Structures are given as C-alpha cells and as structure tokens.
Amino acid sequence: MKLTKLMGMAALLLAASVQAAEVKVAVAANFAQPMKDIATEFEKESGHKVNLTQGATGKFYAQITNGAPFEVFASADDDTPAKLVKEGKAVAGTQFTYAIGRLVLWSPDPALVDQGGGVLKTDKFKFLSIANAKVAPYGRAAVQTMQKLGVLTAIEPRAVQGESITQTHQFVTSGNAQLGFVALSQVWENGKLKSGSAWIVPEEMHEQLRQDVVLLNPGKDSKAAAALVDYLKSDKAKKIIERYGYKLP
C-alpha cells in the first residue's frame, strides 16, 4: 500500500515537472520591477518559471530580429511589437497594450524639482540624466517634453545619457546627475512618491507611452508563454501595474 502511494506521488511529481516550463521574457527596463512582481504571482499560480531580461526596447528589437530566443516581449512602446509582427518575428493577434507609462522629472533632493519643470530653465543643477532616445521610448518622450518647454538646446551640454531607463535612474541615484527624466514606476509605489521631488509630466507634452506585449515566434507553441501573456490581463496583474503608477488601457 505504501509503495503504491509513493509510486502515485512520484507519477504526479513527474507529470508536474513535465508540464512546468520556463518562459524567457524580454521586458522594457521601466517595467522590470512590476514584471518581477507579476512573475512571482504567475509562478505561484501556474508552476511555470519566468526568466526575465530587462533592457532598452530598441536593443531588444535588434536582438530579436537577430534570433534571440525570447518567447515574450513586454515593450515600452506599441510600434516595436507591431513591427515584429509585420516582419514575421512575432505571432499575429497576440499583441495588446498592458499599460500606459508616465514620464517624470525626478530628483532625490526634495526641494529641487518644481511642478511645471521650471527647474530646467535654471542653473540649480549640473547634469540631467536622460535615456537614449534612439533605443528608449522614455528617452524620446523626454526629448519631446524639453522641446515643448523650449529648453532642449540649452540642456543638451548638461545631459548624461543612459542606454536604458534603468541606467538613467542609476545616474540620478548615484549623484552623477542631480535630476533626470525617468519612468514614474521607478520612483512611485502605492500611490505616492518614494522619495525626493518630482514633476509628473502631463501626457500632452509627449507621445503617449502605450506599452504593448506580444508573443514571439520562439514561444508560439509554448502554453506557458501564452499563459503569461494572458496573465497580464488578469485582475491581479492589473493591480500590480496600477500600484507602480501606470494607467490601464
């Protein structure tokens, strides 16, 4: 009897291990922490494992087109996933907007950033951190904002460029720049600013940061990858997304 039970348990464990899979995910740097939280919940509920790689959307596009084995791509824009679908690198019909990002001008100094971004027209700072607009949608949004404010030309000599929004944020937290244009998700949690001072840039100052996810070709036959994409539509995932300051589509 005991042997039969042990054999049954072994069979169940073997079946679970066969069904469980690892999902390789490329996630835009601004969404790295929320995606970690979502992945934790997804792993608990599904038994699958999530392998996250964070970086700049433009760099991921280059890697994916060159054969990187990512199965799911959570982009910082909607154009890049659409381009991958059009080029046959992603599965048609799987793309949707999981979040709408917000750009913020932020400083660890609680007295530096004013509402309206007026500090950008002063000499109260030595360097401003900004993401590379060629590969990072948040960098493009920052450039558009400074163009609207009429300060881009004056600030360019004082700009410190990060290859991703993660590096951009690090430049500010390390003191290499006194303030920077970062993702609200990096400095916001549970409805409030974690520290410092910030101006949440009005959305009309830049192109809307619609962030789309898409199932990539290496994941087209993976039930685990498809399940993770669907999980981003769940109420639990949406609550995590909102907690970090994103708007829901």
Q: Where does residue 221 rank: exposed (0-12), middle (13-18), buried (19+ CB within 10 A)? A: exposed
pLDDT at 5: 56
Q: Please check whether the two domains, 2-100+210-243 and 103-200, share a CATH topology.
A: yes
pLDDT at 4: 53
Looking at 110-222, list the stretches that DSSP marks H as alpha helix, in order from N- to C-terminal side: 137-149, 152-155, 165-173, 184-187
- What the block records as the tokens of 52 is 């996250």
Is 151 within 8 Å of 120 (Cβ atoms)? yes
Is 162 within 8 Å of 134 (Cβ atoms)? no
- What the block records as the tokens of 44 is 């608990």
pLDDT at 184: 97
For domain 103-200, the CATH architecture is 3-Layer(aba) Sandwich (3.40)
State the Cα–Cα distance between residues 79 and 137, nearest whole angstrom.
10
pLDDT at 64: 98
Looking at 159-206, list the stretches that DSSP marks H as alpha helix, in order from N- to C-terminal side: 165-173, 184-187
State the Cα–Cα distance between residues 54 and 25, nearest whole angstrom.
8
User: Per-domain residue ranges for the chain?
Assistant: 2-100+210-243, 103-200
- Residue in this structure with the two tokens 């948040």, named with its chain if needed: 138
Is 180 within 8 Å of 235 (Cβ atoms)? no
- What the block records as the tokens of 35 is 């995606």
Is 185 within 8 Å of 246 (Cβ atoms)? yes
State the Cα–Cα distance between residues 91 and 228, nearest whole angstrom.
14
2-100+210-243: CATH topology is D-Maltodextrin-Binding Protein; domain 2 (3.40.190)
State the Cα–Cα distance between residues 70 and 60, nearest whole angstrom.
9
> Could you give the 3-state DSSP secondary structure of residue 233?
coil
pLDDT at 190: 85
pLDDT per residue rounded down to tens, the chain (249 residues): 455 555 555 444 444 444 689 999 999 999 999 999 999 999 999 999 999 999 999 999 999 999 999 999 999 999 999 999 999 999 999 999 999 999 999 999 999 999 999 999 999 999 999 999 999 999 999 999 999 999 999 999 999 999 999 999 999 999 999 999 999 999 998 889 999 999 999 999 999 999 999 999 999 999 999 999 999 999 999 999 999 999 999
